[in-house]
Each structure stands twice: as structure tokens, then as C-alpha cells.
Amino acid sequence: MSAANRKVLNVLNGATVSPPPIWLMRQAGRYLPEYRQTRQQAGSFLDLCYSPELATEVTLQPIRRYAFDAAILFSDILVIPDALKRNVRFTEGHGPQMDPIDADGISGLSENGILDHLKPVMQTVSRLRQALPQETTLLGFCGAPWTVATYMIAGHGTPDQAPARLFAYQHPDAFLRLLDFLADVSADYLVAQIDAGADAVQIFDSWAGVLGEAEFEKFCVRPVARIIRSVKSRRPSAKIIAFAKGAGVMLKTYRQKTRADAIGLDWSVPLSFAADLQKDGPVQGNLDPMRVVAGGAALTEGVDAILQALGNGPLIFNLGHGITPQANPDHVTDLVNQVRRNG
């Protein structure tokens, strides 16, 4: 089937599709009982990410259940630092942890062996493209350099990423070297995913919202633009979604500066502002994940507001961040039905 029959790709090419295509960030996750069962089989979370068979299975689970218009590769943004031998581990109740990196460690980083370490991910992508319905867009992804760097500097997640912000001020040259390095290896990683069968890719900058204006330009815009420039220089037809969570008004020029094909919007972005952004091209978002937890009127009203504000332009319906473990799977059914009925 040609790409023209894939609704998500149509929107990424600038078309308005009614009803809009829908997929959800973290659509393969702990809210689904079938995911929890597969997760138990895998052992560790990283074992699940690196098992082509099991990662394919959990990626397909929400497609079977909801027939989303896109499947997103099941993996994690921290497979890059894992490939860099930063001793990444996921501890129940504590989130991701790794060995913190310092300026000397940054100087010693090497690209050698990264893509070899990540071959199981590309095997998963290839399996998925063969297993998915042809009309379902397959999305690959990576973490944005700023967001990945925040974990590498602190060794874990923090509420406001103060360790990375402080490091960037105290060691500006080393920090920019880290961002450039991560941008280059991430571009290679995305190209490998595209070559393995991904139809489009998304760059997740989950911690963009903790930065001031100047820092956002240096730490978010510049490295994401570097990734996109590198990917498109090698794969000119590649379609790329950039999601800078919490960026607010700084999204006004984000698309132009990064050359992303679409921009993801978190739930704090006002719909009037989102409609303004949509004049320049496709947008993706931006339902509050808590509305999916609540269900009922909260869900209905949130979906209606987005469809009314953005449904007459190029829109990929999504949440404003990942679906939460406490979400009711039946509420997701209601969400999908409403978008497809009223879009």
C-alpha cells in the first residue's frame, strides 16, 4: 500500500484529514493488562526493550485493541546512554538510574559500537513493519539531546533538572560537546530506524520546559535542528515530529528553526495558540492525560475542544504527554470512538 493511504503520513505532508488520525504516546504501557503480562515475561525493562519478539508484541497490543493509526516502536530514550555504557538500570519506584557523567567522561565518549548495541531495536522495527497493517504508520523515535543529557549528568531524573542546568553553566564547552555528540549519534540511530522500516520518527524533548529562552535556543533548538538536518541530508523524504514539552511561547518559531515537519504540543498549550501554530503546518496533541483517567464528561469535553479548535487543519490527535498507568483501557476506547465519530 502506498504512503498516501497512511493517514498520519498524509498529515505530516500537510494534509487535513477528517477524522484526524490518532495515536497516543506510551500507548503500549502498564495501563494494558496484556502489556503487564508480557512485561513479567521479559525480566528487566531493558530486556523488554532489547527483545525483538517481546518488543514487537507490546507495540502491537494497542494496535490490536484500538486500531490506532500509528504504532510507535516500544523502546526507551535511554537506550543511547545504555549503548554508551553508562550502566543504565530501571529500579522499581525509583525510575531510571545510571552512572553520572562528568567533563572528562564527555571527552571520552565514542561512537564505536553504538549501532551494533542497538541492532535488536532495528530488528524490532523490521518485524513491526512486516506485522503491522499497511495503513498503519510505524513511528520510530529518540530522545532529544537536552533531555537525554539531563539524565546522563544527574544519573537519574530530577524535578527541574537542576544538575544539568548547573553543569551547563559551569562547564559550557563540555556540555555543548555532549549535546553535539548526542545529536550526531541520535541522527545515526534515527536513520537506522528509517532504513529498518520506520515511516516517520519523533524526537522527544520531555524536559524542554525547565529552560529559559537563551538556554532553550542553545540546548533544545540547536541540537534538534542538528539531528533533523543530518537525517534529512541522508534521507530527504524522512518525516520528523519534534515534541518539546513545556516550551510554551517558544514553540512559535520552533518549527522554523528546527525544520521539523510537525510539532507535538503538551496539554498546557492553549488551543488558540495551537491554532496559530497550525497555520504554519501540522500539529500533534494535546489532550491532558488526566482526562483519560477521569473519563466521562472530562474526556468528552477535552476531545471536543481540540477537534473544534484544530480539526479543520493538519492534526494528529494525541495526548499532551504519555498515557498514565492508572488510565482505564475502556476510556481509551471512548476516546478513539469520539475522535473517529466527531472528527
- DSSP string spanning 84-149? TT---EEETTTEEE-----HHHHHT---TTHHHHTHHHHHHHHHHHHHS-TTSEEEEEEE-HHHHH
Q: What angle do CA 321, 324, 326 make, to 5 degrees?
A: 160
Beta bridge partners of 46: none
Annotate 241-310 with DSSP letters as a single string: EEEETT-GGGGGGHHHHHT-SEEE--TTS-HHHHHHHHTTS-EEEEE-HHHHHH-HHHHHHHHHHHHHHH
Considering the candidates 30, 89, 129, 235, report the single residue annotated as catalytic: 30
Do residues 8 and 137 touch, judged by C-beta distance below 8 A? Answer: yes
Task: Please indicate whether residue 39 is annotated as part of the active site.
Answer: yes
CA atoms of 88 and 26, how far apart (whole Å): 20
Output the pLDDT for position 1: 41
Clarify whether 291 is annotated catalytic: no
Q: Which three cell numbers stand for residue 146?
A: 537536552
Check 6, 26, 165, 291 and give the catalytic one. 26
The secondary structure element, H or E, covering residue 12 is: helix 7-12
Choosing from 65, 76, 235, 340, the catalytic residue is 76
Residue 304's pLDDT is what? Answer: 98
The set of cell numbers assigned to 191 is: 536513520
Yes or no: say if 84 and 15 are a contact pair by the CB < 8 Å rule.
Answer: no
Tell me if residue 288 is catalytic: no
Active site residue 30: yes
Fold of 31-56+70-283: TIM Barrel (3.20.20)
Catalytic member of 31, 35, 39, 69: 39
Domain boundaries, the chain: 31-56+70-283
pLDDT tens for the chain, 343 residues long, are 445 568 999 999 999 999 999 999 999 999 999 999 999 999 899 999 999 999 999 999 999 999 999 999 999 999 999 999 999 999 877 789 999 999 999 999 999 999 999 999 999 999 999 999 999 999 999 999 999 999 999 999 999 999 999 999 999 999 999 999 999 999 999 999 999 999 999 999 999 999 999 999 999 999 999 999 999 999 999 999 999 999 999 999 999 999 999 999 999 999 999 999 999 999 999 999 999 999 999 999 999 999 999 999 999 999 999 999 999 999 999 999 999 997 6
pTM comes to 0.97
Contacts of residue 226, Cβ cutoff 8 Å, sequence gap at least 6 = 180, 183, 184, 187
Q: Rounded to a whole number, what is the largest CA-CA distance in the chain?
A: 56
Residue 151 contacts residue 76 (beta carbons within 8 Å): no
Please give the pLDDT value at position 343: 62
- The one catalytic residue among 31, 66, 151, 189: 151
Q: Does the annotation mark 254 as catalytic?
A: no
